[in-house]
Amino acid sequence: MSAMIRTVADGVLIDILVHPRASSARIGPVHGGRLKVAVTSPPVDGAANTAVIELLARSLKRPRRDLEITSGAGSRQKTVHVRGIDRAAMIAALGLEPGDAA
């Protein structure tokens, strides 16, 4: 099993599990080795993907342009590339325990 948050040259990659059409937007808990991200938007015309990027950017205090879905754009299981942040800062910003991100 690979780490949920992985370091790359210009930031990190994080594996997430998206819950579209949720009653409220929220991040967490970790589910099946992925960070659960709930958004109120439906998975239609990229609305849920946009909501995921906006929620993560707000939570990480990063501009939206620093986040990109690199795989799984049409799936609930996605990998997001976050530029300009390191693994420790990502874990702290999301309120995760270091063991959760392993």
- pLDDT tens, residue order, the chain (102 aa): 358 999 999 999 999 999 999 999 999 999 889 999 999 999 999 999 999 999 999 999 999 999 999 999 999 999 999 999 999 999 999 988 777 666
Query: In a 10 Å sphere around its CB, with 0-12 CB exposed, 13-18 middle and 19+ buried, how is residue 76 labelled?
Result: middle
Encode burial over 35-50: b for 16+ CB neighbours within 10 A, e otherwise.
Answer: bbbbbbbebeeeebbe
pLDDT at 2: 56
Q: Does domain 5-93 have CATH number 3.30.1200.10?
A: yes
pTM of the model: 0.92
pLDDT at 64: 97
Domain chopping of the chain, boundaries? 5-93
pLDDT at 1: 36
